[in-house]
Amino acid sequence: MSLTQSPLDAGLPRVPLGAWTEAAVDWATRTLGPFFDGVAAVVDALVRPLDDLLTGVPAVAVVLVLAALGWWLRGWKFGLGTAVGLGLVAGMPYWEETMSTLAQVLVASALSLMLAIPLGILVAENRRASAVARPVLDLMQTMPAFVYLIPAIFFFGIGTVPGVLATLVFSMPPGVRLTELGLRQVDKEIVQAAESFGAPPWMVLLRTKVPLALPTIMTGVNQVIMLALSMVVIAGMVGAGGLGDVIMFALSQVEVGSGFEGGIAVVVLAVVLDRITDSVGDRFPSARAQRLARQA
């Protein structure tokens, strides 16, 4: 079949998948309008105060707080690097956009993890749920990022809310998968020992499995945050604001300088968030015990 030949011309039945999708979106928009309005109000109520806080606080204070956090978690070298990197961003004209992006990433990541971790626990404990969730997660991870913006625009219009919600959906799969992986990798003998003492299943889960799986779960948290940051920049196409707007404007106007500055701000933010979340995971007792076991 040639590139210009339709399926009907080739004798193949046409599958109106696009028409079905449009019909489903139109039905959801008409029927579930109040629900989407409520979701938009909740997301806006979470993002806007955090955005106002981060952009309203002097840049020096934010830099010092994050540098002190980095020093406490990873040592003075990382603390100094955080201060230098964020100080560079503060010296550029896009500090407020950087803080807006940070607010969106934090809210989207928090909401994503609130869904991903319980869902990961469910699919780890239930084989049938795992079989259902796996193809859905595959679809979510392989779908091009830009596609998530289309239904978000239909349901929530233009602005920060659709960007945050598209980011939530895009960044959720690693949190589910790594939570499931961490729980499935817990040593069965340890679980059997806990069960032999008569502990109910929910206590075995919360007191034994989850603490031992925390290092892997925290890796999922790290991946969720990194994907959220990448998607928030793409969400600038729908008016989400922040560094996404800066990069999209630079792309449309072919302004190399402003595009490079926006990209550097994204890189600094990504490195700081990545190292901080990684260090938090390393501080759990189970992570320290596993690290000592490997060294022995």
Task: Quote the CA–CA distance of 202 and 93 in Å, as a whole number.
Answer: 51
Task: Quote the CA–CA distance of 47 and 49 in Å, as a whole number.
Answer: 6
Question: Per the structure block, which two tokens stand in for 40?
Answer: 């938009």
Say yes or no to pLDDT of 22 above 50: yes
**Per-residue confidence (pLDDT) for residue 1, from 0 to 100:** 47
pLDDT per position as a tens digit, 87-122: 999 888 888 989 999 999 999 999 999 999 999 999
pLDDT per position as a tens digit, 189-213: 888 887 787 778 888 888 888 888 8
* Residues 33-295, CATH architecture: Orthogonal Bundle (1.10)
Task: Quote the CA–CA distance of 91 and 5 in Å, as a whole number.
Answer: 56
The 8-class DSSP code of residue 186 comes to S
pTM here? 0.84
Q: Where are the alpha helices (DSSP H) in the chain?
A: 17-31, 33-56, 59-74, 76-91, 95-125, 127-142, 149-156, 160-184, 188-196, 201-204, 210-234, 243-253, 256-282, 285-295
**Per-residue confidence (pLDDT) for residue 178, from 0 to 100:** 92
Q: Which of 10-14, 106-110, 133-137, 141-145 shows the lowest mean pLDDT across its residues?
A: 10-14
pLDDT per position as a tens digit, 221-269: 989 998 888 887 788 777 777 888 888 888 777 778 888 888 888 889 8
**Per-residue confidence (pLDDT) for residue 116, from 0 to 100:** 92
User: For residue 27, how far is the Cα from the chain centroid?
Assistant: 28
DSSP secondary structure of 33-44: HHHHHHHHHHHH
Instruction: Name the pLDDT band for 63 (thresholds 50, 70, 90).
Output: very high
Task: Quote the CA–CA distance of 110 and 174 in Å, as a whole number.
Answer: 14
**Per-residue confidence (pLDDT) for residue 290, from 0 to 100:** 55
Task: Quote the CA–CA distance of 204 and 218 in Å, as a whole number.
Answer: 20
